[in-house]
Structures are given as structure tokens and as C-alpha cells.
Structure 1
Amino acid sequence: MQDILTAIVQGIVEGLTEFLPVSSTGHLILAGKLLGFTGEKADTFEIVIQLGAILAIAVIYWRRILGLLGLMKKADSSGNAKLNLIHVILACFPAMALGLILHSFIKTHLFSPYTVLVGLVLGGGFMLFGQKRQPKVQAEGMDQLSYKQALQIGLFQCLSLWPGFSRSGTTIAGGLLVGGSYRAATNFSFLIAIPMMVAASGYELLKSYHTLTAADAGFFATGFIVSFAVALLAVITFLKLLERLKLAPFAYYRFVIAAVFFIYLLTT
């Protein structure tokens, strides 16, 4: 029963935070410490529930995905579908390449509660900077993003290789800094999350699949289903709220949670 409760809690944490600009990796590391759920099994479990969150995004953006693959015509309000696979590749390649090169270093040195707290604070500061320094909007929607803007967003995404920085936080703030609207930056951030997370999760799963056993099937399935359902609701809600709330409330939340956990770590 304790395992199932842990799966539900971690599934909720993943689903709520994966696509919000608050860092799901950071929250999972901190929650895992609170729950006493660490080690190889915990690492593999996090990969599985991330796949649940990816599935939620794929469900929401299925029409756009089919359009990018040439299986469905997708037009913007002007009648032209300008976003294509080149935009996605340009936005994903920098972080994928750098992540592959630095994978061992990141896993060895950056996956700790203290480094996560640093990432939460720095990532929150970057989000406030992106909101404050947003230039005149050049792209109201994803289909108005240029190849240059897609690449620039991809370069900003490299910051998220530091656990706690937040992939969605860096790409949304980066999207604002290069002239995207909140709607364009957010939708593009969520769309490029699919190949990014599939690549990262697939790579990690290939390295740790040996930790999976038939006895853990129910535990992993529970986390996957909970993560999928919660992520689906979280993304739909977030898309409706972001243009009204902006990034600042999420940045301040990051500062508060970092302070609370810093005090907790000092006293335990």
C-alpha cells in the first residue's frame, strides 16, 4: 500500500509540474527525499511517469503533430501552416546535443537537493527577466515563429539541463525574449517537449530497464496513469491561465519552495 501511495504522490507531482515553469525534476527529487524514495528504482520510476506526461501532451496536440508529419493539413488563422519540422529540430538539437555530451557530468554532480534549489532560484530569476524584457511581439502564434527564433529558443532550452531550472520555464521565457507572445511561446514550448522528453526518457530507460520487474508492474502503471491524467488537466488549465497570470507568480513560487526546502535540508 505504501508503494501505491508513493506512486500516486509522485505521479501527481510529475503531472502537475512537468509542463508548468516550476521544474518537475526538481520537485521529484525533493519529493523523493521527503518520501524516502531514492535509488535506481526511483530513477526508473521517474522516467516511466514522465512518459505518462508526454502522452498527455501528445493527446492535446495530436492534430498539430499529424500536421508536422504531413498526415493532416493544419492552417493558422491566415490560412497558412508555417510551423514545420525544421522549427522543431532547430529548437531541440542544441539541448539534445549538449545533454548527450554532458550527461555523465549532470547525473553525477547536479542531481542533488542543493543543486536543485540553486536551479529553482536561478530559473525563477530568468523567468522574471524574460517577462520584464519581452520586446515587441513579433509572433502572436506558433506559425509566426521564424527559424531563427526557434533556434534561439532551443539555445535557451540548454539552461534546463541544470535540474531545477525547468525546461518549460526556460523555453517560455526564452520565447518571450525573442519576440514571441505568451501564447506562441507556451504552445511551442509544450510541442517541442514531446521529442525532447521522448529522447531523454528513452535514453534513460534503455540504460535502466534492467531495474524493471513484473512485481513492480502495478506500482509503475499507477504512477504512469496518475501522471497522464494530472498532466492533461494541468496543461489545459495552464494554457488558459498563463496570458492572465504571466510568469511572475510561478517565479515567486519557486523562490518560496526553494527557501522552504533549504530550511528543511538544514534541519534534517
Structure 2
Amino acid sequence: EGPPGKTFEIVIQLGAILAVCVVYWHKLWGVTTTLTDPRSVAFVRNVLLAFLPAAVIGATAYKYIKQMLDSPLVAAIALVVGGFAILIIEKMVKRARIHEVEDLSPAMSLAIGFCQVLAMVPGVSRAGATIMGSMLLGVERRTAAEFSFFLAIPTMTGATVYSLYKNWSTLSFDGSALIAVGFAAAFLSALVVVKTFIAFISRHGFAPFAYYRIGFGALMLVLILTSR
């Protein structure tokens, strides 16, 4: 991928981060302006603890994980396995005990963070891994989804900062109009996705996403195996 492509990728990530911040502006602003409040402290602590495993493992081992597992076959298998995992977890979890991000314990937050590390495997959804991990720990469905979005802010910001650091000398803003369009498209699409996703899963759960993953993964497997 050349410099313009890397610049485009970074700008798109920034658009998605901004969209999450806009959707949850009132919550984030409330936490920021009451940092001495125990509930705000708990919120920040839980998000940072959940971010920690991906930050450490991503910085030290992501390149090796990608080298070992980066293949269409692994992605296809992960799609199918992940789809069945979602269906099983939806059936298993009957009653939620935790309805606010602030009520997560430090150990729970770390555990959810390790679930996020699974997204380094091709075909594993970052949001799916963290939401299902949260639900297994007794977090209510909507809260689990919102925590996943809150967790995306430091995770995507960290990835973007790291990418800027690694590629600063080669970044190119040739085609700035296209880059601006990409930023706007990423921002608007992420804005719509975040808002509609929460409403959708509150009504219908995660089963539709599970069936999509299973179907798409199975199709990939057929294409991979028949092309050999």
C-alpha cells in the first residue's frame, strides 16, 4: 500500500472515531467534567483496563500473529465459528446483572479486553468479541454494545497514532479532495451504524449477525476448497 493509501486509511479511522464521540458526546462530556466523581472514575478505569491487553499484545505480537494466521481459510473458519458462538451465547445468557459500564469490576474489564485481542485473528469481529465477552460476564446486551463502542475510542485512536508514527515521513496528501470525501463518508456511515446498531440489537438481538457470519463464512469455505 502506497503513501496515499496509508493516508486515506488513517483519515477514515479518524472519521469513525469522531462519529463514536459525537454519538456519545453527552456521556463522554459528563465523564470528562466530573472526573472526581467515583462513577466517572470507574467508567474511565474500566475503558482503560479493557484497552490495555490489545495495546500491549498489539504492540508486541500483532505482526507475528498476522504472519501466522493471515489467510482466507482462517478468516472463513473464524466467521463460521464466531457465528455459532454468538448463537450459543445468546441462548446461554438469560439474565443480565450489569446494566452500566461503571458497574463492571476491574477484573471483568480486563477479561473483556482480552476478548478484544481475539480480533487480531482474521475473521473475528472486534465488536462481536467484546460484546459476547461482556454478555458472558453478565452485562446487559445494550450496555455490552455501548461498552464496545466506548472501547473503540482508545483502541482506534491508539492504532491511528501508531500508524501516524510509523508512516509520518511517507504520508501524502495528494488527492486531498478524495481524502476529504473519504473522511466524510467514514464519519457519516459510522454515525448511522452506531445509532442503528444499538436500536437493532435491542429489538432483535445478535442472531441475524450470527446467521450472516455463518452463511458468508460457509460460502468462503466452499470457494476456497473448490478452487484448490
Contact kept, 8 Å, 2:46 with 2:101, in 1: the verdict is no
Distance 1:102 1:72, change over 3 A: same
Whether the 8 Å CA contact 1:90–1:147 is kept in 2: the answer is yes
Alignment match, 2:202: 243
Contact 2:34/2:40, CA 8 A, preserved across alignment: no
Change (3 A) 1:73 1:201: closer
Give, as a single letter, the amino acid of the residue that structure 1 aligns with 2:120.
Answer: L
Q: Please say which of residues 111-120 and 95-104 is displaced more in the overlay.
A: 111-120
Could you tell me which runs of 5 or more consecutive residues in structure 2 were left unpaired when the two chains were aligned: none
Counterpart of 1:171 in structure 2 is: 130
Give the SS at the match of 1:138: coil
Structure holding more helix per residue:
2
Residue 91 of structure 1 aligns with an amino acid whose one-letter code is A
Over the matched positions of the two proteins, sequence identity in percent amounts to: 37
- Gap change, CA 1:179 and 1:82, over 3 Å in 2: farther
* Corresponding residue for residue 191 of structure 1: 150
Query: How does 1:1-268 map onto structure 2 within 5 Å?
Result: 39-40=1-2, 42=5, 44-69=7-32, 71-72=33-34, 83-134=42-93, 136-264=95-223, 267=227
Take 2:161 and 2:201, find their aligned partners in 1: how far apart are those partners? 30
RMSD (Å) for aligned C-alpha atoms? 2.7
Residue by residue, what CA displacement relative to the aligned partner does 1:184-234 show, whole Å, maximum 9, x if unpaired? 111111111100111112212322344432323222222111011011011
Deviation string 1:130-188 (CA, Å, 9 cap, x unpaired) is: 22222531112323322232222112112112132011001110110000000111111
CA displacement at 1:82 relative to structure 2 = 7.0
- Residue 137 of structure 1 contacts residue 179 of structure 1 at CA under 8 Å; is this kept in 2? yes
TM-score, with length taken from structure 2: 0.86
Contact 2:95-2:138 within 8 A present in 1 as well? yes
**Does structure 2 conserve the Cα–Cα contact (< 8 Å) formed by 1:154 and 1:171?**
yes
Q: Deviations over 1:80-118 (max 9, x none)?
A: 657421111211111211111112213434444333223
Q: Which amino acid aligns with 2:96?
A: V
Unpaired stretches in structure 1, ≥5 consecutive residues:
1-38
